[in-house]
Amino acid sequence: MTFETKIKTSWCPGCGNFAILNAAKEVFSELVKEGMKKENIVVVSGIGCHGKISDYLDLNSFYALHGRGIPAMTGIKLANAKLMPIGFFGDGDAYAEGIEHLIHAAKRNSDITVLIHNNGVFALTTGQVTPVSKKGQTDHSTPFGNPEEPINPLALMLEAGATFVARTFAGNPAHLKKMIKEAIKHKGFAIVDILQPCVTYNNTFAEYSAKTYEMKGTDESKAKEKGKIPIGIFRKINKPVYEDTVKEIIE
């Protein structure tokens, strides 16, 4: 299965989004082979460069409003438990506009998968800082340097109660694919923060290539590590999922 559509990609050559799209296609292909029904996959995306992935995948898709894809995913899951909502969101989308939804979806352990295309910049709007941009980063809206400290989204997700928390790097295709697959297979709220260079507005490829390393095992404390950047799974636990809990009332 190729999941190709008639729509031509419009990402910049060398964009990290290609790696995420390719890894996702491979994972979907494997999952379908392993028995997942294609018609039950629902791709949900936000607005930003990442969001175009909805148009590039021959699958059910819900191309949501900026920041609002996460509640839509919970709504989809609450409507039909067989559906597998898989969300692709930018760091602007999920960590700025829609951060309340992210926190609450993690808190309620909604059975959805959230993949963050984290490139540290609003790219589709030609370069502005996001909540994960470094202090001092200069962009069109911060010509004198970003005045704010970045948040640590993974520490935030751990605190909010996410049951699967991972980080990967778009420049490490094998690891990327593994993390996406693990996240989709996890029952409960799964988030993967995908470090993704933006070749045009925030090219972090060299930095991430030098600093990332693959963690051994699962270690929550590594989520706050400074300097080197651990990639891998920080938490993977089982807890009752929201959609099952609320449906128990009526079934």
Partner 1 sequence: MVKEVSVLIAGEAGQGIDSSGRHIGEFFNEQGLYSFVYKDYGSVIRGGHTFSVIKASENEVLAHERDVDVVIALNAESLEHFKDLKKNGILICADNCKDVKGFRTIKIPFSDIEKKFGKIFLNSACIIALLTVMNYDVNDYLKLLTKRHKENAEVSKFISDYVEKNYSGMIESKKLKTSKKGEVVYGNDAIAMGMAAAGLERYYAYPMTPATGILHYLAAHQKEFGLALQPENEISVINMALGSAYAGKISAVGTSGGGFDLMHEALSFAGTAEIPLLVINSQRSSSSTGLPTYSGQADLLSSIYAGHGEFPKIVVAPSTTEEAYELSAEALKLAWKFQIQSILLSDKNLSESAKTTKFSKVDRIKLNFAKGAQRYKFSKDGISPLIIPGVKDVTSKITSYEHDEFGYSSEDGPMAMQMQEKRAKKRDAIIAEMKKLETVKTYGNGKIAVIAWGSAVNPFREALKYSKDLKIIQPVYLEPFPTEKIIKELKTAKAVFVPEYNSTGQLSEILKREGIWKDDFVQMLKCDGRPFNPKQAAIGVIK
Question: Which positions touch partner 1 (CB under 8 A)?
Answer: 5-7, 37, 39-40, 42, 47, 52, 54-55, 58-65, 68-69, 71-80, 82-83, 85, 100-101, 104, 246-247, 249-250
For residues 164 and 141, give the distance between their C-alpha atoms in angstroms, rounded to a whole number: 34
Of the pair 45, 133, the CB lying nearest partner 1 is at: 45
For residues 108 and 150, give the distance between their C-alpha atoms in angstroms, rounded to a whole number: 25
Of the pair 182, 243, the CB lying nearest partner 1 is at: 243
For residues 139 and 201, give the distance between their C-alpha atoms in angstroms, rounded to a whole number: 8
| Least spacing, CB of residue 35 vs partner 1, in Å | 14
Of the pair 6, 216, the CB lying nearest partner 1 is at: 6
For residues 146 and 129, give the distance between their C-alpha atoms in angstroms, rounded to a whole number: 7
Residue burial 56-85, b: 16+ Cβ < 10 Å; e: rest: bbbbbbbbbebbebbbbbbebbeeeeebbb
Of the pair 125, 142, the CB lying nearest partner 1 is at: 125
| Least spacing, CB of residue 6 vs partner 1, in Å | 7
| Least spacing, CB of residue 116 vs partner 1, in Å | 18
| Least spacing, CB of residue 131 vs partner 1, in Å | 18
